DNA sequence: GAGCACTGC
């Protein structure tokens, strides 16, 4: 019997003959469910692969079918799986240098793995570092199949971003053919799809940390996988340290050597078993993690990536700034000379994106009609989501897209169709100066790791090209990787979390990269002033605990506690919810004036906090009225909300996020036993409360019209986004001090300087 | 006279 069989399926059969387990991914266009069924029939019924390819003539090795067949066989035999290597291939022609034309595997990919060996390594080692990429969805399934979820235990997979947790969980549920929320689920801030039967749980690092506040031994998990550890976000760094300790405590508990109490409290009577820890990192260099975990074993996994040709400029770059002219020249060089495929350009911010976009449009007008088929699109996080969505749509037929993006396209989002990347080598980074209590936002050269990540974006769908707008020598001079976030941020939140987890000795805490002593001291001082820590730096009960449990910056948590005393908790909940989202008022440059007029409708002469309050309240009243009048359903509500936002130049996704936040923190404070009361129209009381809450961040007008920040003595300016920009109040409190082109204060409210003396005495208990 | 990289709870 002879069956008709495509080459990929034949390859699977050949590999299965070598006892290599093949996993066929469902989303492949070629491998339909029908073919999968066919494949399993073949596996079970045929001994010789030769029997299943029609036209195969064993006697005539020169026949085209025979030569292809023998090529396939050679490939199958040459994959180095017998040697014990763990091997992922995507798609197959990439791993084994065969041309696309020859194989027709373009949209087909599968995963070949020595699953058994991987599981063996995990059973042997309590900590395993896995480098490379492309295993976020597979590894948890292997672990499940190997019995790591027995006795109701879970496998936790931590991701740095919500979107990654959600997409991975959905994909795995589909691959396992289970409903999301059953065996596989995800849990993120405003969305939890897990149930009591969930065994593979995808979540974000910070949520897992919060779980440890309730269950310090994380006793529900048998394995925890920390994905994308190379990104070194604050949350992963803290999580990695915490897990190290949890693992030690759990093995002590198992061996009966642990002191009862301490970190063991709250393990909720569950039987404690050892914890397996898997750190996954895309960087080639696993040394940092191996050393941190006392010489842990590292395995490398081949990622699924097409080759990307890297091109450098010959011209030496004198300074690190983005040369817009050079960017535009490169865009047109690609557009006019290269094969079809969209272009992705990494720029540093909205301003730069808008000016490059304008330059591209101008230049297009000077080209002949048939060369004008280039579509410039912008994407950055503050851009409203309707406009963000445009970059994901394919370009009209015959057109080439050029996507002008910030770092958002480096990791957070993947744009389909990209074959060319332009990397000017710059990035805007935020760093915190603890001595001044000030953030700076400046453009600096990107790191090598970042440059590699960027170029990788050209090879997701086929071989690509990356144009680096600097020379190879300059690339060599770049830092290997970006400085871990924990070394350049305000630590008060991290330290409060650690204190709440029971770690009192912050200076002796086992960070992978230790923040500076000054940064730690500053955070401890702040927490002490906020009433979260006692004089000897222990967690203040109950305030410190309450603040640690609120999903807010400690300064905002403190504001809620004070507002409870000032009887304006309702107002402060709204304020804090609005302050925790970015860019409530976003507008394109073209409609700036219109938007400003609209904002004046909400603007309060007292400042930004009251302005936010009225935006929130007006939107709320509008929704309530509409919903009452139309008795509408949730779908309609969304539409009403979007329309209101559009009419009022408010960013609807920001407002939505603020509303979610409000509901969550309201629930939180109610659980803390607070009674949510409103000060009604007594805005004086509310402003006094703002002054008491943010007394550390006050600024006073000077003779020359500039302001002096009272804490650091810095000369500062009112940010143009503030409603107080054109007025010049004598004294204000603010929420943010940030240096860009100038030292700016943002989110301000006018106060009476006399209130400050009163507020600090409030703090001096 | 003039502006805000990106996440996360």
Span A280-314, pLDDT tens digits: 988 777 888 988 998 888 887 766 677 889 999 87
Local confidence band at A49 (pLDDT 50, 70, 90 cut-offs) = low
Which residues partner with A701 through β-bridges? A707
Report the C-alpha gap between A23 and A273 in whole angstroms. 31
Report the C-alpha gap between A560 and A15 in whole angstroms. 62
Nearest protein residue to nucleotide B5 (CA to C1' distance) is A428
Lowest mean pLDDT among A109-113, A449-453, A483-487: A109-113
Q: How far is CA A313 from the centre of its chain?
A: 31
Nucleotide whose C1' lies closest to the alpha carbon of residue A593: B2
Can you tell me the mean pLDDT for A488-509?
92
CA of A233 to C1' of B8 (A): 9
CA of A82 to C1' of B5 (A): 46
In terms of phi and psi (left: phi > 0; alpha: psi -120 to 50; beta: otherwise), the region of A589 is alpha
Q: Is the pLDDT of residue A696 over 80?
A: yes
Local confidence band at A413 (pLDDT 50, 70, 90 cut-offs) = confident
Nearest protein residue to nucleotide B7 (CA to C1' distance) is A161
Nucleotide whose C1' lies closest to the alpha carbon of residue A234: B8
> Tokens in use for A562?
């004070």
Can you tell me the mean pLDDT for A544-569?
92
Local confidence band at A762 (pLDDT 50, 70, 90 cut-offs) = very low
CA of A406 to C1' of B5 (A): 7
CA-CA-CA-CA torsion sign (A360, A365, A366, A369): positive
Local confidence band at A1 (pLDDT 50, 70, 90 cut-offs) = very low
Q: How much is the pLDDT for A527? A: 94
Can you tell me the mean pLDDT for A413-440?
90
CA of A110 to C1' of B5 (A): 36
Q: How much is the pLDDT for A80? A: 44
CA of A12 to C1' of B1 (A): 68
Lowest mean pLDDT among A1-15, A136-150, A326-340, A585-599: A1-15
Superfamily of structural domain A116-301: P-loop containing nucleotide triphosphate hydrolases (3.40.50.300)
- What percentage of chain A has pLDDT greater than the value 70? 78
Nucleotide whose C1' lies closest to the alpha carbon of residue A409: B6
Which residues partner with A738 through β-bridges? A439, A744
Q: How much is the pLDDT for A763? A: 45
Nearest protein residue to nucleotide B4 (CA to C1' distance) is A583
CA of A23 to C1' of B4 (A): 46
CA of A719 to C1' of B2 (A): 9
- What percentage of chain A has pLDDT greater than the value 90? 35
Q: Is the pLDDT of residue A85 over 50?
A: no
Which residues partner with A346 through β-bridges? A405
pLDDT digits (tens, 9 = 90+) for A158-167: 999 998 899 8
Q: Is the pLDDT of residue A569 over 60?
A: yes
Local confidence band at A116 (pLDDT 50, 70, 90 cut-offs) = confident
Report the C-alpha gap between A446 and A480 in whole angstroms. 9
Q: Are the CB atoms for A530 and A544 separated by under 8 Å?
A: no
Q: Is the pLDDT of residue A562 over 50?
A: yes
Question: CB neighbours (10 Å) of residue A722?
Answer: 22
Q: How much is the pLDDT for A265? A: 43
Nucleotide whose C1' lies closest to the alpha carbon of residue A162: B8
CA of A86 to C1' of B3 (A): 50
CA of A230 to C1' of B3 (A): 32
Q: How much is the pLDDT for A237? A: 94
CA of A231 to C1' of B5 (A): 15
Q: Is the pLDDT of residue A644 over 60?
A: yes
Which residues partner with A308 through β-bridges? A464
CA-CA-CA-CA torsion sign (A201, A207, A209, A212): negative
> Tokens in use for A696?
């550390």
Question: CA triplet A600, A602, A605: central angle to 5 degrees?
Answer: 75
CA of A90 to C1' of B4 (A): 40
CATH architecture of the domain with residue range A486-549? Orthogonal Bundle (1.10)
pTM of the predicted protein model: 0.81
Per the omega criterion (within 30 degrees of 0), is the bond before A542 cis?
Answer: yes
Higher pLDDT, A305 or A393: A393
Local confidence band at A209 (pLDDT 50, 70, 90 cut-offs) = very high
Nucleotide whose C1' lies closest to the alpha carbon of residue A664: B9
Q: How much is the pLDDT for A2? A: 43
CA of A214 to C1' of B8 (A): 19
Question: CA triplet A59, A65, A69: central angle to 5 degrees?
Answer: 85
Nearest protein residue to nucleotide B9 (CA to C1' distance) is A551
H-assigned helices in A18-161: 33-45, 64-78, 92-95, 100-103, 115-124, 138-145
Nucleotide whose C1' lies closest to the alpha carbon of residue A431: B5
Beta strand spans in A605-730 (E): 698-701, 707-709, 715-718
Question: CA triplet A87, A23, A13: central angle to 5 degrees?
Answer: 90
Nucleotide whose C1' lies closest to the alpha carbon of residue A427: B5
DSSP assignment string, A81-117: TTTT-----SSHHHHTT--HHHH--TT--EEEE-HHH
Q: Which nucleotides in chain B lie closer than 7 A to a protein CB?
A: 1-9
Q: Looking at the domain covering A308-483, what would its CATH class be?
A: alpha beta
Local confidence band at A741 (pLDDT 50, 70, 90 cut-offs) = confident
In terms of phi and psi (left: phi > 0; alpha: psi -120 to 50; beta: otherwise), the region of A257 is alpha
Report the C-alpha gap between A330 and A422 in whole angstroms. 8
H-assigned helices in A338-457: 350-365, 385-389, 448-456
Q: Are the CB atoms for A705 and A728 separated by under 8 Å?
A: yes
What are the residue boundaries of the structural domains of chain A, listed by start? 7-113, 116-301, 308-483, 486-549, 569-763
Mean pLDDT of chain A: 81
Nearest protein residue to nucleotide B8 (CA to C1' distance) is A206
Nearest protein residue to nucleotide B3 (CA to C1' distance) is A720
Can you tell me the mean pLDDT for A171-198?
90
Nucleotide whose C1' lies closest to the alpha carbon of residue A207: B9
Q: Is the pLDDT of residue A176 over 90?
A: no
Q: How much is the pLDDT for A463? A: 87
CA of A161 to C1' of B7 (A): 7
Common-topology check for domains A116-301 and A308-483: yes
Q: Is the pLDDT of residue A95 over 80?
A: no
Nearest protein residue to nucleotide B2 (CA to C1' distance) is A720
Nucleotide whose C1' lies closest to the alpha carbon of residue A348: B5
Nucleotide whose C1' lies closest to the alpha carbon of residue A583: B4
């Amino acid at each position: 019997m002879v069956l008709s069989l495509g080459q990929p399926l034949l390859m699977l059969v050949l590999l299965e003959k070598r006892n290599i387990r093949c996993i066929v991914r469902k989303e492949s266009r070629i491998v339909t469910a029908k073919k999968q069924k066919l494949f399993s029939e073949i596996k079970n019924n045929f001994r010789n692969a030769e029997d299943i390819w029609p036209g195969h003539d064993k006697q005539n090795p020169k026949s085209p079918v025979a030569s292809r067949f023998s090529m396939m066989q050679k490939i199958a035999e040459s994959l180095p799986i017998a040697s014990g290597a763990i091997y992922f291939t995507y798609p197959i022609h990439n791993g084994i240098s065969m041309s696309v034309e020859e194989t027709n595997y373009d949209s087909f990919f599968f995963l070949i793995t020595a699953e058994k060996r991987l599981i063996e390594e995990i059973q042997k080692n309590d900590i395993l570092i896995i480098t490379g990429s492309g295993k976020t969805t597979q590894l948890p399934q292997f672990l499940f199949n190997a019995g790591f979820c027995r006795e109701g235990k879970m496998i936790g997979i931590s991701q740095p971003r919500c979107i990654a947790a959600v997409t991975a969980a959905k994909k795995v549920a589909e691959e396992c053919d289970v409903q999301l929320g059953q065996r596989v689920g995800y849990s993120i801030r405003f969305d939890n799809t897990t149930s009591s039967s969930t065994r593979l749980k995808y979540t974000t690092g910070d949520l897992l940390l919060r779980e440890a506040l309730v269950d310090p031994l994380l006793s529900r998990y048998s394995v925890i996988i920390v994905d994308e550890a190379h990104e070194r976000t604050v949350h992963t760094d803290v999580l990695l340290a915490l897990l190290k300790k949890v693992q030690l405590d759990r093995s002590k508990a198992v061996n009966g050597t642990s002191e009862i109490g301490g970190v063991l409290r709250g393990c909720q009577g569950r039987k404690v078993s050892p914890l397996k820890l898997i750190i996954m990192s895309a960087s080639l260099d696993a040394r940092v993690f191996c050393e941190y975990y006392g010489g842990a074993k590292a395995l490398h996994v081949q990622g699924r990536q097409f080759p990307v040709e890297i091109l450098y400029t010959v011209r030496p770059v004198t300074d690190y700034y983005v040369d817009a002219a050079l960017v535009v020249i490169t865009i047109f060089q690609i557009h006019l000379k290269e094969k079809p495929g969209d272009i992705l350009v990494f720029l540093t911010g909205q301003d730069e994106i808008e000016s490059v976009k304008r330059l591209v449009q101008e230049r297009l007008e000077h080209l002949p009609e048939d060369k004008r088929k280039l579509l410039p699109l912008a994407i950055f996080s503050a851009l409203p989501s309707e406009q963000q969505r445009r970059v994901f749509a394919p370009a009209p037929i015959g057109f080439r897209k050029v996507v002008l993006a910030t770092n958002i396209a480096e990791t957070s989002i993947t744009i389909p169709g990209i074959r060319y990347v332009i990397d000017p080598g710059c990035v805007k980074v935020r760093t915190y100066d603890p001595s001044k209590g000030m953030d700076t936002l400046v453009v600096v050269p990107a790191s090598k790791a970042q440059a590699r990540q960027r170029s990788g974006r050209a090879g997701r769908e086929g071989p690509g090209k990356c144009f680096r707008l600097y020379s190879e020598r300059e690339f060599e001079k770049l830092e290997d990787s970006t400085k871990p976030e924990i070394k350049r941020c305000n630590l008060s939140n991290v330290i409060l979390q650690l204190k709440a987890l029971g770690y009192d000795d912050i200076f002796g805490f086992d960070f992978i990269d230790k923040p500076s002593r000054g940064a730690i001291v500053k955070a401890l001082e702040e927490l002490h002033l906020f009433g979260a820590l006692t004089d000897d730096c222990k967690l203040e009960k109950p305030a410190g605990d309450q603040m640690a449990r609120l999903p807010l910056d400690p300064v905002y948590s403190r504001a809620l506690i004070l507002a409870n005393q000032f009887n304006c908790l309702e107002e402060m909940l709204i304020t804090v919810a609005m302050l925790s989202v970015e860019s409530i008022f976003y507008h394109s440059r073209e409609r700036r004036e219109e938007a400003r007029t609209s904002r004046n409708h909400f603007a309060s002469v007292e400042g930004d906090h009251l302005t936010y309050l009225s935006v929130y309240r007006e939107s709320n009243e509008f929704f309530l009225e509409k919903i009452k009048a139309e008795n509408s359903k949730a779908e309609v509500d969304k539409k009403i909300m979007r329309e209101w936002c559009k009419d009022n130049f408010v960013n609807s996704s920001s407002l939505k996020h603020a509303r979610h936040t409000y509901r969550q923190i309201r629930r939180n404070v109610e659980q803390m036993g607070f009674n949510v009361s409103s000060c009604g129209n007594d805005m004086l009381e509310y402003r006094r409360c703002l002054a008491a809450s943010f007394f550390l961040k006050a600024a006073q007008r000077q003779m020359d019209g500039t302001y002096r920040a009272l804490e650091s003595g810095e000369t500062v300016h009112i940010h143009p986004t503030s409603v107080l920009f054109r007025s010049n109040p004598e004294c204000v409190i603010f929420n943010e001090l940030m240096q860009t082109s100038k030292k700016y204060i943002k989110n301000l409210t006018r106060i009476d300087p006399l209130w400050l003396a009163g507020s600090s005495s409030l703090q001096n208990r």
